Amino acid sequence: MFILFIKTNRNVFMTARNGRDFTGKVVLVTGSSSGIGESVVKLFSALGANVVVTGRKADRVNRVAQEAQQLSPKKLQPLAIVADVTKSVDLNNLLNETIKTFGKLDVLVNNAGMGLFSPVKDSNFMKVFDTLIKVNLKPYLKLTHLAVPYLEATNGSVISISSVIGMVPLSDFTVGGCVIGFDRGYNTGFVTGNLTRGADPEMTKMLQQEMFKRIPLQKVGQPLDVANAAVFLASKDAQYITGANLVIDGGILYNSGGIL
């Protein structure tokens, strides 16, 4: 009995060495045509998964799909789909094509979003809020709703990318691009990317300077920092983690003292 116990434990540890092997898994990452989503989809591809690359711009989607294929150990061809997550018909098509092509879904990463900021006194405040609900929140809920039956069948995971802005009070009650994670989620701090291309440049600069001052690690995060966390949450290593809110921010939240 004692020997069996040792053996079992050894196998568990040996299996854990392959925790990041996603061979045979199907991973759909929204907003994977640039920034964080691009790194997430490429890392899953490099770890053996069949991946779905998507965004609104065909040229970017195709470029990332080609680069992800080069990273795949077996040169698996990603499914490349042009979709606008604010359109129900596109979300239905995204999921239907995924199932038609790969037959199942193991991991859904809700990532597509935009970075807009607006203080409560701003005349655009409610307009910005409505846009963020339309782009950053509703599609997460809708796609998760559509995907749940397939994820139940594979005992899969949902990972939803949000922002630390959803976790700390902002001066002037600024509305920012955030979704509080549900299922398995994580909150991103300040990561290089094109997120704020539609935002007010002055506001963006001010927020980024304020955030940078609060990063104890004194460096801006890279998309791969977030991708590593996504892979961890979807891996066997995280099989006893669910409903968790993982913060990847170089310490911004820890260092914020409640006010940003």
Q: CA torsion, points 140, 146, 150, 151, in degrees to nearest 10?
A: 30
Instruction: Please give the Cα distance from 247 to 226 (Å, whole number).
Output: 9
Residue with tokens 């991103």: 188
* 160 touches ligand NAP by CB under 6 A: no
Closest to ligand NAP by CB, 83 vs 105, is 83
C-alpha span between 159 and 234 (Å, rounded): 8
Q: Is 111 in the site for ligand NAP (CB under 6 A)?
A: yes
Name the residue nearer to ligand NAP (CB basis): 154 or 197.
197
Instruction: Decide the pairing of beta strands 245-248 and 184-188.
Output: parallel
Applying CB under 6 A, does 113 fall inside the site for ligand NAP? yes
**Is residue 56 near ligand NAP by the rule CB under 6 A?**
yes
Give me the helices (H) in the chain, please. 2-16, 35-46, 58-71, 88-102, 125-132, 138-154, 201-213, 223-234, 252-256
33 binds ligand NAP (CB under 6 A): yes
Asked if 177 touches ligand NAP (CB under 6 A), the answer is yes
* Other C-beta atoms lying within 10 Å of the C-beta of residue 43: 24
Q: Mapping DSSP to helix (H, G, I), strand (E, B) and coil, where does residue 227 land?
A: helix
DSSP 69-89: HHHSTT-PPPEEEE--TT-HH
Half-sphere exposure of 155 (CA within 13 A, CB side): 5
Q: Which stretch binds ligand NAP (CB under 6 A): 5-13, 33-41, 93-101, 230-238?
A: 33-41
Among 85, 94, 215, 234, binds ligand NAP (CB under 6 A): 85
Q: Site residues for ligand NAP, window 58-77 (CB under 6 A)?
A: 60
Alpha-carbon distance of 194 to 171, in angstroms, equals 24
Of the candidate spans 8-16, 20-28, 31-39, 230-238, the one that interacts with ligand NAP by CB under 6 A turns out to be 31-39
| Size of site (CB under 6 A) for ligand NAP | 30
Verify binding: residue 194, ligand NAP, rule CB under 6 A. yes
Residue 60 exposed, middle or buried by CB count within 10 Å (0-12, 13-18, 19+): middle
Q: Name which of 23 and 194 has its Cβ closer to ligand NAP.
A: 194
Choose between 21 and 62: whose C-beta lies nearer to ligand NAP: 62
Least distance to ligand NAP, CB of residue 111, Å: 5
User: Does position 31 bind ligand NAP by CB under 6 A?
Assistant: yes
Q: Which is nearer to ligand NAP, 116 or 238 (CB)?
A: 116
**Which residues contact ligand NAP by CB under 6 A?**
31, 33-37, 55-57, 60, 83-86, 111-115, 135-136, 161, 163, 177, 188, 190-191, 193-195
